[in-house]
Amino acid sequence: MSPVRVLIVSSLISCTSSTKSTETESSGPNNPATDSGATTADADGGADDSGQNTGPRDPLEADCSTSEGISNISGQIEGSPARMVSAAWYANDSGAAWIVLSPSTSACSLVEDLKTNRHDLRAMSIWITDFSPSHYAPIHIVPEPALIPGDGTPEAVVNGWEPIINLAIIMEHGLFTVRSATPGDTLQVTGLDTWSEFGDAVEGDFTACWCPAAEGFIWPIVEDSSPPTPPPVSE
């Protein structure tokens, strides 16, 4: 082989070796630009920078406007069929909790109408005294006159509303169990089973969404809750 050919072959071998070395280095573990694991990490980092999935949700941001409560309660109120499909709740720092159950899909948005009697819903209200989110034993339902707030024992008053007679129907007996309760988020109740002396009864489960509007709401015990007589029509 002539000296010229030897020189050309040596040059080609040198260039080929240099190219392979460069490719190996660029795809190796020390080069994050092309390593598949490093690419995944960069993508995750981008998601973290966007502020999403960076930690637990602030419970005060969980409300009925973003996640409606769901109820599977059915039975009878004043002898008429009753079925609750939504639930909302609120608890204060003094050991009281209130729940609103509605046959409509948004119990929380209806609270003000329920308070002012501007509705025609066969709905329900629950008031729990001495409430604790960590109390998982069954809570007994009692009539309001028998309730003793502040004795350290959680008890509940359950009232149903009958729009035809415009009156609260008191459920004097029964119980339910709080499976989970996170103030600012959801309340899960199972095994609600309550009845009155007159054959009215409802039962089922529900998960209520956080609803500050429900604070203090319970249909009162009144002799007559019918609307006032309208004024006479002037001639």
Reply yes or no on whether the pLDDT at 138 is more than 50.
yes
User: Residue 125: which residues within 8 A CB-CB, separation 6 or more?
Assistant: 98, 99, 100, 101, 114, 158, 159, 161, 217, 218, 219
pLDDT value, residue 202: 96
Q: For residues 89 and 74, give the distance between their C-alpha atoms in angstroms, rounded to a whole number.
A: 19
**pLDDT given at position 41:** 36
Q: How confident is the model at residue 167 (pLDDT cuts 50, 70, 90)?
A: confident
192: enclosing H helix or E strand: strand 187-195
Mean pLDDT (whole number) for 126-133: 94
Across residues 103-121, what is the average pLDDT?
89
What's the pTM? 0.68
Pairing of strands 155-162, 201-210: unpaired
Q: How confident is the model at residue 144, as a pLDDT?
A: 86
**pLDDT one-digit tens code per residue, 61-73:** 457 877 789 999 9
Residue 221: the pLDDT is 60
**Measuring CA to CA, how many Å separate 224 from each of 17, 102, 161, 220, 229?**
99, 22, 13, 10, 12
Q: How far is CA 154 from CA 87, 130, 143, in A?
A: 20, 5, 13
Looking at residue 62, its pLDDT comes to 55
**pLDDT at residue 203, as a whole number:** 96
Confidence of residue 86 (pLDDT cuts 50, 70, 90): very high
Of all residues in the chain, the percent with pLDDT exceeding 70 is 67
Q: Place 53 in a pLDDT band, splitting at 50, 70 and 90.
A: very low
Q: Among 140, 131, 114, which residue's Cα sits nearest to residue 195?
A: 140
Mean pLDDT of 217-227: 62
Mean of per-residue pLDDT scores for the chain: 76
Q: What per-residue confidence (pLDDT) applies to 32?
A: 39
| Percentage of residues in the chain having pLDDT higher than 90 | 46
Does pLDDT of 40 surpass 50? no
Q: 28: which DSSP letter?
A: S
